[in-house]
Amino acid sequence: MKTKIIIIAAFLCISALNAGESMMLVRIQLQSPEDVILLDDMNLDRASLAVTDHIDVVVSSDELLEIQRRGFTTSIIQHAQDVFIPTEYHTVEETWAVLDSLHQLYPAITELDTCGYSQRIGMPIPLFTISNNVGVREDEPAALIDAMHHAREPIGNEICIHAIKWILDNYPDSIDAQRWVDSMELQFIPIVNPEGWQYILDNSLTYPWWRKNLRDNGNNGGPVNPDSDGVDLNRNYDWRWEVGGSADPTSWVYRGPSPHSESEVQALVDLALERKYLVGITYHSYGYDVFYPGRYQGQYTPDVNTLLDIAQNMCFHMNGYTPAFLDGYNMSAVWFYGRTGTYDFLIETALSFIPHPDTIPIECEKNFAGMRYLFNRTFYSGIAGHVRDSLTLQPLEATVEVVGLSGDTITPRTSDSLFGRFYRLLTDGNYSMRFYKPGYVTKTISDIPVTSDSLTQLDVLLVPAMATEEARISELDAARFWAWPNPFTNAANIRYVIGDDRDVTLKIYDISGKLVRDLSVHVSINGHRLSVRWDGTDDAGRNLPGGIYFSCLKDKTGSHFGKLIMMR
């Protein structure tokens, strides 16, 4: 690992020869927060998403002149050449070394892995997991804490390292740490953008505010061109991708050539879709704000009240932070919430991109207090349970809807396929929930109490739609349906008595109601007798497993069922 990073550093240093225009950190005064709309078309590189009586932006001299031409009052906060990178911040190599040492100290409850590689030069992206059964997928909630989507924001890395150390050092003496490790899976990605951070470290006097990764936008294979290369990773997510950031590769907020085009983003997306995290935090700098996914195309998101409640409580514990909502476009927190249901919070921390080293412990403690609250919040005020097949008790991936808290602003929530597990954090009150899956009877459960004492447990059994026909099947005239042998091993001869109607279909369904074979073209009709032979295969000719199946004859009088038992 060490050799690889040294080689990469040497490569990146070459790019210093391509020094572009020096940038400035500028404060723009606003008469009202709405004035920021007058700057939207410039796609400025904002230091924070928060809008008060001002915004801070990183700009070139040409951009500064354009802002002033539009009538805004500005002041220069800092020039790039005045910035330095304190040695107290962990480099990429040092971060890996710290994580590895912690894994060696606590091997039974930690795992250090690579979740992906950077876009241009393939630097590994660290994934650090804490769990009492590490490496085993358990039926428990998971949390993801990530930092440094933007290269110039290393305070997030320090917060992650601080949190990891605290949890490990205090397990199992701390009640909180013990509960998290024993009842959750905690995952940390301290540096989402390792090649961007390495680029800053190698060129700190020239590009201390570098934001993007190092994608070769010119496809020339040469040294990094700071005037045109790189993608803003936090504008690359596939949620209204075309709205956020800029389509111009020279912009510091360039959203990339396509959604999820960057390997760093794809690494997080793959993790999220597989794990379905319950909660998460993504750290940025700067500002003292806790952002939550609040609106989408002018509509409030279904969980806005719960998200606001959690954000307010995080701010209370973080002493001085302010909750604010995110509009719905291509940032990680919005994508995580909209696509997977994760309650993901974007925290802007500290008062500069790279705070003075004396403030690192202060920021770490403040933010860990908010993280601590979020982890503990997963254990109360919500509904959790499983969805299973009522006949087989196998877990089901079913749509799980809180009645009145759904809509087209989010992707429908589902239970996971491995355990049938679902979670929904809510505010206290009474709720109704609806569970549905194709081939099953929809179930609605009303007046479910949610309190701050614990999570309300709710295990749901969905009845296969075909199973509800068993009563009708048992009442069929024996002369209407007949099969022999039944049970069968290799094949069964199926017979129905029909009327004068010859426009009929005959299909086979499994016990979940899934269509497995259409025998309509194979039937033979002789007088009022329909017959067909079924060899226990599906429409592709593959052998089906043993179990209960239903044949369904449809004619002008309706549907007529027969029950078949296949022994394999």
CATH number, domain containing residue 56: 3.30.70.340
- Measuring CA to CA, how many Å separate 271 from each of 66, 267, 276, 341, 440? 42, 6, 8, 14, 29
Same domain, 279 and 304: yes
Rounded CA separation 78/118 (Å): 30
Domain annotation covers residue 446: yes
Confidence at residue 468, expressed as pLDDT on a 0 to 100 scale: 60
Same domain, 264 and 409: no
Residue 220 DSSP code: -
Domain annotation covers residue 419: yes
Domain annotation covers residue 12: no
Same domain, 155 and 167: yes
Rounded CA separation 392/539 (Å): 24
Same domain, 409 and 511: no
Q: Which domain covers residue 544, as residue numbers? A: 467-566
Same domain, 490 and 550: yes
Domain annotation covers residue 6: no
Decide which of 377, 399, 429 is a domain's last residue: 377
Same domain, 533 and 419: no
Distance of CA 197 to the CA centre of its chain: 24
Domain annotation covers residue 491: yes
Same domain, 248 and 156: yes
Structure tokens at 391: 């006949």
CATH code for the domain of 319: 3.40.630.10
Domain annotation covers residue 9: no
Rounded CA separation 109/124 (Å): 22
Residue 541 DSSP code: S
Same domain, 474 and 328: no
Rounded CA separation 363/453 (Å): 31
CB burial of 550-568 (b: ≥16 within 10 Å; e: otherwise) equals bbbbebeeeebbbbbebee
Rounded CA separation 292/347 (Å): 9
Query: Which helix (H) or strand (E) element contains residue 293?
Result: strand 289-296
Same domain, 429 and 475: no
Domain count, the chain: 4
CATH code for the domain of 437: 2.60.40.1120
Rounded CA separation 202/195 (Å): 10
Same domain, 181 and 96: yes
Domain annotation covers residue 2: no
Q: Which residue has the tokens 């509009």?
A: 327
Give the burial class of 297: count Cβ atoms within 10 A of its Cβ; 0-12 exposed, 13-18 middle, 19 or more buried: exposed
pLDDT along the chain (568 residues), means of 10: 39 44 89 91 90 92 94 93 90 98 98 98 98 95 98 97 98 96 98 97 81 95 92 96 94 96 98 96 96 86 95 96 91 96 97 95 98 98 93 91 87 94 97 95 93 93 73 48 88 89 89 88 89 95 91 83 86
Decide which of 417, 447, 463 is a domain's last residue: 463
Decide which of 324, 346, 377 is a domain's last residue: 377
Residue 125 DSSP code: E
CATH code for the domain of 523: 2.60.40.1930
Domain annotation covers residue 5: no
Confidence at residue 559, expressed as pLDDT on a 0 to 100 scale: 78
Same domain, 451 and 306: no
Same domain, 72 and 132: no
- Measuring CA to CA, how many Å separate 396 from each of 136, 273, 423, 457, 568? 20, 17, 14, 17, 24
